[in-house]
Amino acid sequence: MIRAGLADPNCVSFESRNYPGQFLRQQDFRVRIDPNDNSGPFPADATFCPKSSNSRVQLESYSQPAAYLRHYNAQVYVARKDGPNTWDSAALFEVDTTWDLVRPWWRSGVDLRVGEALSLRVTTPGFTDRYLRHRDGLARTDTIYPEDSELPKLDATFIIRRGLADGSCYSLESRNYAGSYLRHSDFRVRLNWDDGSDLFFADATFCTQPADNGGVIFEASNIRGSIRHYNEEVYVATNDAVRPWDNPWSYPADISWAVSTPWSP
């Protein structure tokens, strides 16, 4: 996970996805992963400054200026061109210190418990009594109260499934219509029956990311955008103002959802 640099927020640090609190760092030029004790040389050793060109990047060590993250004989070091160490070899230096930015192997930044039920509550101030639900085949948000009938509670409850198109992401199956999932189509989020197609699998797969307010963001796996409530309706939206639901106003809060106790366990 890319974090603001521990020693310099203008640079970056890399936190392990499966070992939270541990970071890539250099120690005696060897790159390793260690727990962040936030003391001594660690913040500087775990900070790298990108030198980018399009989708490729070189990563300069903050604590070893002019030394770059390099693979050498299947190991990784911070290396200086023509330096004194074997891994400083000038041969292939530019190539070995250049990295492609690609889609991560594990795309979700928040873990959900597969097989469990949940309800998703709006986090936008003034609307925090509303929940994501389906109604007449379309996703929307509604206020739900404990004294309400069972139907809206069922509509607002989803079962977490491993992503139909990507096992590092998730799909949300309807609690009351088994085999039907939330998916996007023409940007509108709706509830559809699983037809077994590759398109359906992709449209019904969302990758989770942490929101700044403590909620969870559900990013579409196959197009730009995240699940957003807008005028009570629900879309996959960006914040570029291309369409009405892409309005940047309140976007960060509107795409954040609080994972709540399911209305219908």
Identify whether residues 20 and 78 lie together within a single domain.
yes
In this prediction, residue 70 carries a pLDDT of 98
Last residue of a domain, one of 100, 127, 156: 100
In this prediction, residue 55 carries a pLDDT of 80
User: Is the confidence at residue 53, as pLDDT, over 80?
Assistant: no
Q: Considering only CA atoms, which of 263, 192, 185, 182 is closest in space to residue 218?
A: 182
Q: In the predicted model, what is the mean pLDDT of residues 61-76?
A: 98
Say if pTM beats, i.e. exceeds, 0.85. yes
The SS3 of residue 242 is coil
DSSP states of 108-127: -SS---TT-EEEEEE-STT-
- Our count of domains for the chain comes to 2
Q: Considering only CA atoms, which of 201, 210, 204 is closest in space to residue 123?
A: 210
**Which pLDDT band, with edges at 50, 70 and 90, does 54 fall under?**
confident
Residue 265 belongs to a domain = no
Write the pLDDT tens digit of every residue in 180-209.
Answer: 999 999 999 999 999 999 999 999 999 999
Do residues 220 and 209 touch, judged by C-beta distance below 8 A? no
Identify whether residues 129 and 256 lie together within a single domain.
yes
Write the pLDDT tens digit of every residue in 206-244.
Answer: 999 999 999 999 999 999 999 999 999 999 999 999 999
Q: Considering only CA atoms, which of 58, 53, 56, 79 is closest in space to residue 11?
A: 58
The domain containing residue 158 runs over which residues?
Answer: 117-260
Do residues 204 and 165 touch, judged by C-beta distance below 8 A? yes
Identify whether residues 135 and 196 lie together within a single domain.
yes
Do residues 207 and 169 touch, judged by C-beta distance below 8 A? yes
Using CA atoms, how far apart are residues 264 and 247, in angstroms rounded to an integer? 33
Identify whether residues 128 and 188 lie together within a single domain.
yes
Identify whether residues 155 and 255 lie together within a single domain.
yes
Q: In the predicted model, what is the mean pLDDT of residues 16-42?
A: 96
